[in-house]
Chains A and B, each alone.
Chain A
Amino acid sequence: MRRERLDTLLLLLPATLFLLVWFIAPLSRFLSLAFTDQAGPLSTFTTLLSSDVYLHVLVNTLILSALVTVITLILAWPVAYVLTRLKGIYFSLTLYGVLFPLWISVLVRTFSWMLLLERAGPVNRLLLDLGVIRQPLALLFNQTGEIIGMVHVLLPYAILPLYSAMKRIDSRLLLASDGLGAGLFDTFRRVYLPLCLPGLFGGGTFVLLLSLGFFITPALLGGADSMTLSMLISSFVTDRLAWSLAAAGSLLLLAIVLALLALTMRLLPMEKGMFAK
């Protein structure tokens, strides 16, 4: 059956070659530029990490991503829960409501928030009309707008894994806990919540990873002082042609992403073992 082995290799060859040539090679080439700056192999990193401005960007990116992740998870939870309970047309409609935004470009979704959040926009006008505020809020070109936009884009990525995990929770476990005399809060705290954890963890990590690399939304909705790492990388390339700095920044970003991924993969199987059905 050596013919089979050959066939398999031939099947895998085109995609492998293509990705090696048009993705892996460019990636390695670019990242290696981080070490080829005139000032020395590690100079780019020292530049980045010793500069207040750049450090601020790094810290800002991390804080922003963490904040967005937490808010997204909180908002995702009721939707995921409701999805596990719905049937028929209600289920489909709700699910489509979550899935459809994923098919629309980040640009368009962000743009729609620009329309809604500006000073004279509908949100401010509604709040003014309702008497909630006296003056239009500055919701755009600052961290508030950034967060709103990012949460909006990332919500489906949190809802779906969470729903998936919740769906797998055997409702009989909850009935058992109830039957054993546990109150609602206890059942929630001791049975439901721990069983949701893998989903929360998975969804949360996913959202966190995505938000670290976000470019469009912070660029359009964020303010002058809320630059993210990806915006910085872009700026290095387009504004200053500082390829080596861009590469160093990219390496940092990639390192954080991969570290998070490794951490998740380490922890998640263990989680599965703890709550394995």
Chain B
Amino acid sequence: MSQMAGLPTPWRWSATISANLVVAFLVLPILAVIPTSFNQASFISLPPTAWSWRWYVSFFADPEWRASLWVSLQVAALATVAAIALGLPAALGLQRAAPGLRPVLTGLFLAPMIVPVIVSAVSIYRTALDVGLNGTRIGMALSHAALALPFVIINIGVSLRNVDQRWLQAASGLGATPWTVFRTVTLPNILPGLVGGGVFAFVTSFDEVVIAVFMAGYGAKTLPVKIWESIRLEFTPVVAVAATFMILLAAVAFVLARAIEAGRKKAKNTKEDKMDLGVAA
């Protein structure tokens, strides 16, 4: 790669080769799932002994798999709406909060990210048991919303930082009420962060396993929960079908997020190194 300069050739080559290997290590194994789902036989084999769509048919024919997909979609949608409905005002408020209050609020809002997920899962499960919300889609959605909230707040917060306070002052000086200022000036400019956060929240909920396993009960089995159970109980390629759907959803969401990011970059002309760990991914 001629783009690399700075190190002498042998070092450069070994760095490039190792990097390629590592990236391959990252990406390829995930793809292993897809061919497995096309296996003709009832056991798992990679590569498939023969190729067939039968397990896809099986998936949609099975009421339990169908239901789990549907539950996952519903829960993710609910969780996303909740995360945005709560996260948008929170991000706005955080920006305006007094400097002394900000660390406390940030700590609270980021807590679901810091606490190990097993601990969160078990504590929420315990409370859900007490109030009868375990095994319900609402309970699951609320728990996922709590998990997604930090990401939504961070994403919108990043967008908000690009909103110049003086635009807001100008708008209000021109006679706009705070709500009008938000609607006509702030909102159009944070739309990428908002939508990006929403996409990320949706995928977070859809992908989520640990909380789901505890909160699923009998009435709210999401797709990951069904996969988890199936892996440990019966192991046919239909599991690979389910996993492939999850990869597909992730891929669509990822492309969407990239598109939003590209749109944001075009509008703002930023440099390439705008990284917020994996959150704005």
Q: Which residues of A does B touch, CB under 8 Å?
A: 4, 7-12, 14-16, 18-20, 22-27, 29-31, 33, 75-76, 78-79, 81-83, 85-88, 90-91, 94, 96-109, 111-116, 120-122, 152, 155-157, 160-161, 163-164, 167-168, 171, 174, 184, 206, 212-213, 215-216, 220, 230, 233-234, 237-238, 243, 246, 250, 253-254, 257-258, 261
Contact = CB atoms under 8 A, between A and B. Distances in A.
B93 to A, nearest CB: 3
Interface string B196-221: 00000001001111100010000000
B73 interface: no
B155 interface: no
B15 interface: yes
Nearest to A83: B19
Contacts of A12: 89-90, 93-94, 97, 105
A12 B243 CA distance: 38
7 contacts: A30-B127, A85-B4, A111-B231, A156-B26, A233-B118, A250-B116, A257-B115
A14 B89 contact: yes
A109 B31 CA distance: 9
Interface string B267-281: 000001101011001
A160 B224 CA distance: 27
A87 B96 contact: no
A103 B126 contact: no
B274 to A, nearest CB: 10
Interface stretch (B50-58, B59-67, B246-254): B246-254
Contact of B247 (A90, A104, A174): A104
Contacts of B224: 105, 107
Contacts of A215: 117-118, 210
Contacts of B27: 97, 100-101
Contacts of B116: 212-213, 230, 250, 253-254, 257
B126 A19 contact: no
B114 A257 contact: yes
Interface size of B as a range: 35 or more
A171 B6 contact: yes
Contacts of B120: 23, 27
Contacts, number: 265
B183 interface: no
A81 to B, nearest CB: 6
Given A11-B96, A19-B109, A97 B246 contact: no
Contacts of B174: none
B45 interface: yes
Given A15-B153, A234-B118, A27 B26 contact: no
B176 interface: no
A105 B207 contact: yes
A218 B105 CA distance: 34
A145 B33 CA distance: 17
Given A12-B89, A98-B26, A90 B3 contact: yes
